[in-house]
Structures are given as structure tokens and as C-alpha cells.
Chain A
Amino acid sequence: MTAVLLTPFDEAVATFDPVLGLEVHVELNTASKMFCGCSTVFGAEPNSQVCPVCLGLPGALPVLNKAAVESAMKIGLALNCEIAPWCRFARKNYFYPDMPKNFQTSQYDEPIAFGGHLDVDVDGASYRIAIERAHMEEDTGKSLHVGGATGRIHGADHSLVDYNRAGIPLIEIVTKPIEGTGANAPEVARACVAQLRGYLLALGVSDVRMDQGSLRCDVNVSLRPSPDAAYGTRTETKNVNSLRSVGRAVRYEISRQAAVLSDSGRITQETRHWHEDTGVTTSGRSKEQAEDYRYFPEPDLVPIAPSRRWVDELRAALPEPPATRRTRLQLDWGFSDLEMRDVVGAGAVDLIEETIAAGASPAAARKWWLSELARRANDRGVGLDRLPITPTQVAGVQALVDAGTINDTLARQVLDGVLAGEGDPAHVVAARGLQLVSDDGALSDAVDAAITANPDVADKVRDGKLAAAGALIGAVMMQMGGKADAARVRELIVAKLRA
């Protein structure tokens, strides 16, 4: 491969005006597939979730999943789209082994939702992303390429196809060209997908697990000499499947295209492939090779004509938009912008809200989830919501701290106990014997021992250097296995040495 010239990003955006476009595919979390009753559960045995319909067997016919239509409408409404009073599916005809019928049943020129918008904030600037459309379609099967370089399509000598994924409902959300982002282009693209992800989570229509492919992005980028010039030729980078990659891919394409254009070259209208590992895009299929999809209305399905009432009901039941909710909660909780951003970034909004509802203070809830528990989730390689601890249990730990039963150090051990499945916090404290000792008799003996063992330190305290008391407290703690009530120990030391 010849070396690709890149213009440094800052220089690229100083010379050219980037225009972006996003196509986001969302796998819905319906129980059954788009057109048949097969299960959609991820990770099943190959070809065990198939039937004549999703295998495209001769004679089989599709019947549309009502929940998928509702999810599509909810997404459309959440993105401020209009819902089409009448729309249809079409057939997108092309041959590909992972597509059982050799056509994809998809909406074409009659999407169920169109003309919406999404507001995103990047570094204090607000961008309104116009949504072109959100339409329904079905997913394809999955191929395993055998022989040649592991897992790569090129050089493989044959492929193995599993159709479990074929027919899972997808919603494709397409933005209009996103202009005026300048140097913020990568961040805007990333924020747009992140925000969309937040919406989808709030709506409960998708698992939006980018790692499992339930949210997949295609990123369009073009450059033009100035904001009033006509759009440049765009490339479409496929399968950008993490939030971080969305920004990186945009950044890379801007640098690459700028280098081509600066060298009086021309951008080829093509699809490009994103390589997560190397952080580059490579050339795919050019426009000239593009298929003629021969769309026509799907004759095996009938039109969808959502009643006004149905749409109104869905609209009324929409959850509070994530941005509005975030602003409300931030105010309620008294978090700084930075703190709130961390909370959102960690996916801890719901968890903290529930922890507060269970009695903890906002600060305490944030402290436990974003420090101790975030670290443990990270160690386990899972999201916070997948830790085996409930917000109620976290609130319980804090309640024990507030009651003086345990201190923060012991609280960490209690959390570990809960995570290890040892039961509720109070039970863990009892079982592990973690309650603080504040009984003066036991503490007094330990303090005396510490004073005897550290005469120099004791003298400093006697001389009024109270800060030195810390060393004595530490010694007491050591003797008592961390279970001493530090405040009471301090009082005893001061009483004994300064009386």
C-alpha cells in the first residue's frame, strides 16, 4: 500500500470547511425479528434462530412486527420528526450471500419519520443537527471468513454464514449535511452519536451496544474551500463502531481529503472502510461500481398508515429528553458542569438518581459510583450497570457510614462484600465483623499502648503539635485492624496528652 499523505488536522480545517453526514443503524431490542417470530437474542448457536421467513425459503412471506413500527415512530418523535401518515416498504435488490432473499426489505422513498433535528453541545457551542429521515429495514446474516488472514474477507477461501441476525429490525437514522462545525467537526460527530445513543437508551428501544453491533455508524465527510462554496465530493466511511472512532474517523478523513485537495487531487466518491486498530480509512467501492438497487414497493407487505391517535399516544408517552433531564438533575443535585459530565460519561445518571432516591446524598451517591464502583467496573471490564450491586445497596453502605457504624475505609470492604454476593451491606458488616470499635475501654488501652510505643510523637502532641496525633491514630488503627472510630481515638489521645 502506498503511503497516504495527511494534512495536519489544524491546517486542514484552517484551509477547508468540512461538511459531515451521519447514517446510524440501530438494532431494535424487540423480542422477535422484523418480519417473523424468531428470537433476536444475541449470541445464540449459529442458525438456531431462523425460520422459513428470515432464511428466505421459497414461499415464505413477511409479516411486520408492530413493536418495531412503534419503536421507529418513537425514535422519529424523539428526534422531532414528522411521522408519515402513509408509508411503505420497498425491496432493495442486490446479491450478497448474507442476505437470504437477495433483496433487503427496507424503506426507500417513503420513510416512516422525516424532517427532525437533534441539538448537541460541544465546548459550549450548540449545534442543531437536521435529521433527514429515520426508516425501517432488516439486518443481514453474519459471515465468518475462513482461510487467508484470520477473519478478513480478502484472501479467504470460503465463508460460513449464520442467519440468526438476518431479519433483526434496524432503524436507519440519516442526518442532513452538518455544516459550520469547523475544527469541532470530529467532536460534533462524536457528540451527535453519543446524544443519539442517550436518546435511544432513554426510549428503551435498543440496547445500543456498539461493541455488539447494535449501534453502527457510517460517517460521510466532504471538504469545500469555504462555507459558501458548493459541497465537495464526499466519502462514506462504513462501520465506525465506537464513539471514539466516530471522532477519529472524521478527523482522519478531513486530514486525508485535505492532503488530496491541497495537492490539486480529486476526491473519489466512494465508500471507505474504517480500521479501528490502525486508525485509518481505506478505499472501498467507488460510485462507478455502485449497484443499481432496482427499488420497487414490496408487494408482500401492505402500507403502514399510523393513525393520528396512535402517533399522539406515542408522543405523549415519550420520556423526558436526556438533555432536559440532565439539566434538571444537575440543578437538583448541585453538581458542577464537570461533575455532571463525568456522571453522564460514566453512564451513571440513572444509578445515581436511584441511589439518591434510596436515601443517599447526591455527593455520596456520586462519590461511590464514580470512584470506588467505577474502578471495580473497569477492573471487571463491564459497565456500571452490570455490577452486581443495586443503588439501594449503595445507599445502604452510605447510611452505615452516616450512622458511624463503619468508616469510608470499611465501607470499601463492605462494597467488596456486596459485589462478592455476600448479601446486603448490614449483613456484610455483621458477617465480616466490620463495625467500628468506639467502646472507650478497648480504645483507651490501644491509645495507651500507642503512646508508650511512640514517646517522641507523644511529646510533640504534648507540646501542642496536634497534627502529630495522626501518627498515633494510625498506630491505634493498626492495632485494631482499621476498625477503630478515628474521631473517638483522636479525642482520647488529646484528652490523655493535653489534659
Chain B
Amino acid sequence: MPEPAITRDEVEHLAHLARIALTDAELDHLAPQLAQILESVAVVSAAVGDVELTANPVPLSNVFRDDKTKPGLTAEEALAGAPAVEQQRFSVPRILGEEP
């Protein structure tokens, strides 16, 4: 089990990964709370048993759809909720980095 304590710097890094521009006050407030929560959830490490991992309890496999097209949204419907639209496309602020 890793050391559950989480530092303010780590919270800042995680917030960046999660694209949340936390304020300094929030970082001060959140870091100790998260440390406390992590300490509490760390009890999972005590669970023992040689078992498979369960990602989803549903007892299903091989759920497919046939390769058939069906009508989706019109461009107008698709763009209706967009903050900005140009040339029938979603207008987004400038993108800095290349696609990972």
C-alpha cells in the first residue's frame, strides 16, 4: 500500500490532469480532506483472497449490435447546445498541443 498521505503538490498535479483550475484556497482545503479520505479508503488493502477482479457485476458477454446505420441527430440538433458554432462545426478555443 502506498503512503496514503497526499500532498498539496500532488493535488495540484491531479487537478491539472483532471482539468480543474483549483484556486489556492481550494488546494489548501482539499489536500488535507483528500488525505483523510485516502487514509480511510486504504483499508481495502487489508482485504485478502485469491479472487478475480470485478469491474462490472453484470453477468453478460458478447453484447453486439448489427452493422446497420440508423438516423442520429441532425447537424442542427447536434450543434444546438454548443457554446459557439462556426461553419456547421463546434467552435472551440485554440488547441495548444498535438493529439497525444
Residues on A lying within 8 angstroms of B by beta carbon are 30-32, 36-39, 45-52, 54-55, 63-69, 86, 88, 94-98, 140, 143-147, 153, 156-163, 238, 271, 273, 284-285, 290-294, 296-297, 299, 301-306
- In angstroms, Cα B93 to Cα A294, docked, is 25
Which B residues touch A97, using CB under 8 A?
90, 92, 95
Residues on B lying within 8 angstroms of A by beta carbon are 17, 19, 55-56, 58, 60-75, 78-79, 86-95, 97-100
Q: Are A47 and B79 in contact (CB under 8 A)?
A: yes
Top 3 A-B residue pairs of the complex, sorted by shortest distance between their CB atoms: A51-B72, A67-B67, A37-B70
Partner of A46, one of B68, B88, B95, B97: B88
Which B residues touch A48, using CB under 8 A?
74-75
Which B residues touch A306, using CB under 8 A?
62
CB contacts between A and B, total, < 8 Å: 143
Q: Are B95 and A153 in contact (CB under 8 A)?
A: yes
Nearest opposing residue in chain B for A299, CB measure:
B56
Which A residues touch B98, using CB under 8 A?
153, 238, 271, 273, 284-285
What is the interface of chain B mostly: helix, strand, loop, or mixed?
loop
A162 in contact with B56 given A65-B65, A66-B64, A285-B100 (CB within 8 Å): no
A442 to chain B, nearest CB (A): 62
Q: Are B78 and A50 in contact (CB under 8 A)?
A: yes
Nearest opposing residue in chain A for B87, CB measure:
A160
- In angstroms, Cα B92 to Cα A147, docked, is 13
Q: Are B64 and A69 in contact (CB under 8 A)?
A: yes
B20 to chain A, nearest CB (A): 11
Q: Are A158 and B75 in contact (CB under 8 A)?
A: no
Q: Are B61 and A47 in contact (CB under 8 A)?
A: no
Which A residues touch B99, using CB under 8 A?
96, 98, 140
Q: Are A32 and B67 in contact (CB under 8 A)?
A: yes
Q: Are A160 and B91 in contact (CB under 8 A)?
A: yes
Which B residues touch A52, using CB under 8 A?
72-73
Which A residues touch B69, using CB under 8 A?
31-32, 37-39
B1 to chain A, nearest CB (A): 19
- In angstroms, Cα B71 to Cα A86, docked, is 32
Which B residues touch A163, using CB under 8 A?
78, 90
A297 in contact with B55 given A153-B95, A156-B95 (CB within 8 Å): yes
Q: Are A94 and B100 in contact (CB under 8 A)?
A: yes
- In angstroms, Cα B66 to Cα A30, docked, is 10
A159 in contact with B92 given A37-B72, A47-B75, A285-B97 (CB within 8 Å): yes
- In angstroms, Cα B87 to Cα A144, docked, is 10
Q: Are B92 and A158 in contact (CB under 8 A)?
A: yes
Q: Are A68 and B67 in contact (CB under 8 A)?
A: yes
A302 in contact with B90 given A32-B68, A38-B69, A284-B98 (CB within 8 Å): no
Nearest opposing residue in chain A for B84, CB measure:
A158
A302 in contact with B94 given A47-B79, A48-B74, A162-B89 (CB within 8 Å): no
- In angstroms, Cα B64 to Cα A304, docked, is 9
Nearest opposing residue in chain B for A294, CB measure:
B17
A311 to chain B, nearest CB (A): 13
